[in-house]
């Protein structure tokens, strides 16, 4: 059994999700406030404690505006990459994503063949 926890630290909200064997097991959301690192670590630890897991039992991925504040992450990706991968997983025929976030909005175009990001545009704050 392989466990994954994803942390998305947005400018307004921090979201964490525990996935095991490809299924969503649990998730949490909390306002990001000014302390991204503390909120991310707290939500991560809540999931570990609730499910009797240790850090070594999960692969931790961070994304979003505050992704680099999670110093215990095994991997980090931009939210643009995370959106593209997620959409390709759930909707393989999709070729674009629009993200309206708390600080900015993004339009992402993906390759029909590879699912890779071809281009994206982002507005200013």
Do 10 and 29 reside in the same domain of the chain?
yes
Give 60's Cβ-side CA count (13 Å radius).
22
Q: What's the chain's average pLDDT? A: 92
Residue 110's pLDDT band, with cuts at 50, 70 and 90, is: very high
Do 55 and 103 reside in the same domain of the chain?
no
Residue 125 has pLDDT above 70, yes or no: no
Do 20 and 72 reside in the same domain of the chain?
yes
- Segment 65-86 shows an average pLDDT of 93
Number of domains in the chain: 2
Do 72 and 83 reside in the same domain of the chain?
no
Residue 1 has pLDDT above 60, yes or no: no
Can you spell out the DSSP letters for the chain?
A: --EEEEEEE-SSEEEEEEEETTEEEEEEEEE--S-HHHHHHHHHHHHHHHTT--GGGEEEEEESTTGGG-TT-SEE--HHHHHHHHHHHH-TT--EEEEE-SS-EEEEEE-TTT--EEEEEE---
Specify the CATH number for the domain of residue 48. Answer: 3.30.420.40
Do 88 and 61 reside in the same domain of the chain?
no
- Its domain, for residue 83, covers 79-122
Do 18 and 59 reside in the same domain of the chain?
yes
Do 11 and 67 reside in the same domain of the chain?
yes
26-71: per-residue pLDDT in tens? 999 999 999 999 999 999 999 999 999 999 999 999 999 999 999 9
This prediction has a pTM of 0.86
């Amino acid at each position: 059994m392989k466990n994954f926890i994803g942390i998305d630290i947005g400018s307004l909200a921090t979201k964490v999700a525990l996935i095991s064997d490809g299924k969503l097991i649990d998730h949490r959301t909390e306002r990001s406030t000014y302390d991204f690192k503390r909120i991310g670590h707290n939500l991560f630890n809540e999931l570990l404690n609730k499910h009797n897991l240790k850090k070594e039992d999960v692969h931790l991925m961070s994304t979003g505006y505050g992704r680099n504040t999670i110093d215990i992450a095994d991997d980090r990706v931009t939210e643009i990459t995370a959106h593209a991968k997620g959409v390709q997983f759930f909707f393989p025929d999709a070729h674009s994503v629009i993200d309206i976030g708390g600080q900015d909005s993004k339009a992402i175009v993906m390759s029909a063949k590879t699912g890779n990001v071809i281009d994206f545009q982002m507005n200013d704050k």
